[in-house]
């Protein structure tokens, strides 16, 4: 707020030619959030702009001088924002360091919780700052103002005898102090963008509570291994069931098993229109002949799922039957929802739900690929094998990332360097030829110290250059290969860390080559696994 008062006159000048317009700090702040996004694609998004305008107009009031967002020139505020960012960037590294240390010092007291007498790290200890809501995909609420959360919004959950945390805003108080030991959250507040849901402060991923729950997740997925044969036999039988609900359950389970689809809960119209298995619409699956089904839909986070797969004939015929007499927009599995599906899965294995198949599929695939593809070689080669296996998993789970803005320029840069090196190599080969005949090297050659070059030295140089070229070509290929694939999501959420730790032990690969510092902490529970561990 102090910062804002300094900005006030600036904002006033920016927002209107009429300097007398009185805008409150909050109205200005909301305008700044909008202006700061002037150079983003959100400015082409009519829903975003309309939602912003509607909320902003409410703040301005009905009879405000500003009657149309189009009359406002936001570019001066945008310029001011850019300038502030530049100033931050231009700080010396010493200044940045001092600022960082000051921040660390202030935050230290919020970072820890004593749980059952053990000091545990807290995950997100800050409430989310206000701003303009940015949903993913075509979100109907994008652009709406997300309001500031204060102590009065926050429920604290602590032990009965624990001291109540000091309220950071003088005069204000917490909404409620609760003593519920049946759940793990430390604080929560209502999500300002979704009336029905809450935001939570949980322990960090490295906490023992989360570690235990992680381990249980993987143990359940491992249990599926011994049930999967029967489950597959059961759904194969179900493909031709005359009971249409049973038939739909069978085909849906097949998709979840074979394609690692998510369960697919119902969504309301206040959210982006995405689907999972149970909510697939008839147009999301196309029968293409020769038992091939083409899947095309937007899944979680509006990530496109596109995959053409050959299925068993009874599945193919069942899909044709489910689509019969339906229109686009109709549910493919009209007799199903996630609770029916999961209730059925629980009959096949204790506590089995749809998501377990994803964990099972991912971890099983990693274990399988690692053990089939690892060969003798140095650490670097083995890490490549791991990354390759990790990539197969990411593809199965459809974990994508957007291509970085500088990707193509980085590729052409690399390719340019390879061309240069190849030219050097060509000259070296000529020089080698000449050196063997006792002639001096060519002047234009990239070789320095030409006076004392013998054939052996040139040969060595050729070998070095060739190796360099090969490495760069491999790097370029990998970069292109992984430009849309996100490897991290599966590593964090789907791959039993014991597979990786045991593989590292067996192959003398340092675990640090696979897990970052935070992942090592998160997976502390898996580090003492036996080298023979198999998923």
Residues 293-312 that bind DNA (CB under 7 A): 299-303
115 phi/psi in degrees, rounded to 5: -115, 120
Smallest gap from Cβ 217 to DNA, in A, equals 6
What's the CA gap between 301 and 307, in Å, rounded? 17
Residues 413-442 that bind DNA (CB under 7 A): 413, 417
Residues 331-350 that bind DNA (CB under 7 A): 338-339, 342, 346
Residues 494-533 that bind DNA (CB under 7 A): 494, 516-519
Tokens of 32: 């700044």
CB 53 within 8 A of CB 30: no
Q: How many other C-beta atoms lie within 10 A of the C-beta of residue 340? A: 16
Per-residue contact string for residues 107-126; x = within reach of DNA by CB under 7 A: -----------------x-x
CA distances from 502 to 19, 239, 371, 523, 534 (A): 69, 39, 11, 13, 8
Residues 240-299 that bind DNA (CB under 7 A): 262-265, 267, 271-272, 274, 276, 299
Nearer to DNA, 23 or 285 (CB): 285
Q: Decide if 494 is catalytic.
A: yes
148 phi/psi in degrees, rounded to 5: -70, 140
Per-residue contact string for residues 14-53; x = within reach of DNA by CB under 7 A: ----------------------------------------
Smallest gap from Cβ 289 to DNA, in A, equals 29
Q: What is the DSSP letter of 325?
A: T
- Residue 175 within binding range of DNA, rule CB under 7 A: no
- Residue 134 within binding range of DNA, rule CB under 7 A: yes
Nearer to DNA, 231 or 354 (CB): 354
Bridge partner list, 112:
121
Q: Residue 477 is inside which H or E element, if any?
A: helix 455-481
Dihedral (CA of 328, 326, 396, 342) sign: positive
- Residue 146 within binding range of DNA, rule CB under 7 A: yes
User: Which one among 402, 422, 454, 464 touches DNA, defined by CB under 7 A?
Assistant: 402
Q: Residue 239 is inside which H or E element, if any?
A: none
Tokens of 447: 């070789």
Segment contacting DNA by CB under 7 A, of 223-231, 326-334, 399-407, 458-466: 399-407
| Strands annotated E in 237-357 | 285-287, 292-298, 304-310
CB 75 within 8 A of CB 18: no
Nearer to DNA, 462 or 487 (CB): 487
Nearer to DNA, 317 or 342 (CB): 342
Residues 201-220 that bind DNA (CB under 7 A): 202, 210, 213-214, 217
Q: Residue 198 is inside which H or E element, if any?
A: strand 198-201
Nearer to DNA, 351 or 454 (CB): 351
Smallest gap from Cβ 293 to DNA, in A, equals 19
What's the CA gap between 312 and 498, in Å, rounded? 34
Residues 434-493 that bind DNA (CB under 7 A): 475, 479, 486, 488-490, 493
Catalytic residue numbers? 494
């Amino acid at each position: 707020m102090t910062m804002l008062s300094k900005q006030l006159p600036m904002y006033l000048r920016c927002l209107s030619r009429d300097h007398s317009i009185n805008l409150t700090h909050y109205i200005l702040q909301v305008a700044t959030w909008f202006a700061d996004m002037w150079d983003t694609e959100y400015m082409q998004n009519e829903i975003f702009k309309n939602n912003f305008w509607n909320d902003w107009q409410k703040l301005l009031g009905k009879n405000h001088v500003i009657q149309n967002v189009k009359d406002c020139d936001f570019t001066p505020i945008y310029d001011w924002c850019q300038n502030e960012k530049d100033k931050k960037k231009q700080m010396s590294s010493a200044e940045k360091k001092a600022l960082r240390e000051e921040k660390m010092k202030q935050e230290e007291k919020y970072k820890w919780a004593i749980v059952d007498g053990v000091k545990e790290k807290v995950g997100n200890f800050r409430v989310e700052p206000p701003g303009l809501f940015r949903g993913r995909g075509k979100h109907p609420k994008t652009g709406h103002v997300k309001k500031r959360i204060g102590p009065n919004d926050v429920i604290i959950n602590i032990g009965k005898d624990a001291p109540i945390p000091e309220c950071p805003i003088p005069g204000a108080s917490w909404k409620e102090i609760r003593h519920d030991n049946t759940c793990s959250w430390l604080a929560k507040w209502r999500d300002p963008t979704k009336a029905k849901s809450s935001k939570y402060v949980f322990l960090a991923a490295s906490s023992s509570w989360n570690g235990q729950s992680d381990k249980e997740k993987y143990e359940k997925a491992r249990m599926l291994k011994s049930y999967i044969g029967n489950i597959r036999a059961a759904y194969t039988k179900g493909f031709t069931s005359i009971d249409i609900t049973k038939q739909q359950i069978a085909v849906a389970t097949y998709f979840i098993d074979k394609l690692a689809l998510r369960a697919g809960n119902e969504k309301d119209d206040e959210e982006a229109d995405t689907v999972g298995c149970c909510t697939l619409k008839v147009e999301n699956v196309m029968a293409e002949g020769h038992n091939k089904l083409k899947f095309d839909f937007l899944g979680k986070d509006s990530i496109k799922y596109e995959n053409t797969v050959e299925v068993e004939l009874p599945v193919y015929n069942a899909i044709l039957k489910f689509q019969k007499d339906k229109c686009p927009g109709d549910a493919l599995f009209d007799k199903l929802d996630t609770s029916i599906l999961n209730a059925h899965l629980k009959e096949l294995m204790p506590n089995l739900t749809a998501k377990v198949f994803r964990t099972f599929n991912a971890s099983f695939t990693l274990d399988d690929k690692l053990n089939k593809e690892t060969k003798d070689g140095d650490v670097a080669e083995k890490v490549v094998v791991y990354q390759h296996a990790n990539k197969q998993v990411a593809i199965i789970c459809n974990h994508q990332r957007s291509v970085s803005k500088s990707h193509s320029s980085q590729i052409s840069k690399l390719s340019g360097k390879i061309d240069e090196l190849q030219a050097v190599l060509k000259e070296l080969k000529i020089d080698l030829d000449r050196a063997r005949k006792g002639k001096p090297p060519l002047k234009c050659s990239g070789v320095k110290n030409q006076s004392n070059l013998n054939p052996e030295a040139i040969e060595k140089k050729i070998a070095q250059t060739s190796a360099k070229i090969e490495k760069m070509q491999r790097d370029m290929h990998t970069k292109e290969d992984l430009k849309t694939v996100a490897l991290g999501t599966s590593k964090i959420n789907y791959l039993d860390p014991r597979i990786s730790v045991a593989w590292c032990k067996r192959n003398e690969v340092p675990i640090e080559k696979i897990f970052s510092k935070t992942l090592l902490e998160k997976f502390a529970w898996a580090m003492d696994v036996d080298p023979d561990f198999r998923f």
